[in-house]
Chains A and B, each alone.
Chain A
Amino acid sequence: EAGVTQSPTHLIKTRGQQATLRCSPISGHTSVYWYQQALGLGLQFLLWYDEGEERNRGNFPPRFSGRQFPNYSSELNVNALELEDSALYLCASSLAGQGAGMVKAFFGQGTRLTVV
């Protein structure tokens, strides 16, 4: 069974540009979560999508946005990139719904975004 896959592995962008990161969840998982892991910091929750809708959002500016497609894959878009957006962006997927809190969330290997 394929795990959570993220692309690209590395991405280098110039300040002010836009970045698009992609995530394919494990088959059968309807929930996708995005986290930002800046250097030396823990993971900060960005966005949660389930069944194609944004369910929850972390404390990030509106230039961080995304969407979930009918096949449950997801995109994270970061507009007007700033130097401090440089980080590892991790995607996770899980089952959702009642009682899903205990369910294991599977993580991808991340996209390393560097803004220069």
Chain B
Amino acid sequence: AQTVTQSQPEMSVQEAETVTLSCTYDTSESDYYLFWYKQPPSRQMILVIRQEAYKQQNATENRFSVNFQKAAKSFSLKISDSQLGDAAMYFCAYRSARGAQKLVFGQGTRLTINP
């Protein structure tokens, strides 16, 4: 079974600075997808960025980028120019490319932005 681990329960960063959230996963599959979701106090999960495992190029979405290291099974999220609105719980998630299409989530990292 696949597992996702986020080793940082909490992180904080000064507004306008850069922060990196860590995520590692365990799988025996070679084809899969990885996601970062944001959960603000409103509770709704919002997709931040996604990565296809067969693509070597790291995904980027404006201020958000990932460092995908397939051999190391690592998928970190970098947030540049942090904004107050970035404060939320961030979840890393894994989804198999075949079979069950459920998302497997990590425990989450609570990100605080200091003004």
A residues in contact (CB < 8 Å) with B: 31, 33, 35, 41-45, 48, 55-56, 58, 88, 90, 92, 94, 96, 100-102, 104-105, 107-110
Contact = CB atoms under 8 A, between A and B. Distances in A.
The 10 closest A-B pairs by CB, nearest first: A107-B45, A56-B100, A43-B105, A45-B102, A42-B105, A42-B107, A101-B97, A109-B44, A110-B43, A101-B33
B100 A55 contact: yes
Nearest to B47: A104
Contacts of A55: 100-101
A56 B99 CA distance: 9
Contacts of A105: 47, 103
Contacts of A58: 102
Nearest to B93: A43
B77 to A, nearest CB: 15
Contacts, number: 63
Nearest to A100: B101
Nearest to B99: A56
B106 A42 contact: yes
The interface size bin for chain B is: 20 to 34
Nearest to B4: A42
Given A101-B97, A102-B52, A104-B50, A45 B103 contact: yes
Given A45-B104, A56-B100, A102-B50, A90 B95 contact: no
Given A88-B43, A101-B32, A102-B52, A48 B105 contact: no
A96 B102 CA distance: 11
Contact of B96 (A88, A101, A110): A101
Contacts of B52: 102
B62 to A, nearest CB: 16
Given A102-B33, A102-B50, A102-B52, A109 B103 contact: no
Contacts of A45: 102-104
A43 B101 contact: no
Interface in B46-68: 46-47, 50, 52
B44 A108 contact: yes
14 contacts: A33-B102, A33-B103, A41-B107, A42-B4, A42-B6, A42-B105, A42-B108, A43-B45, A45-B102, A48-B100, A48-B101, A55-B101, A101-B95, A101-B97
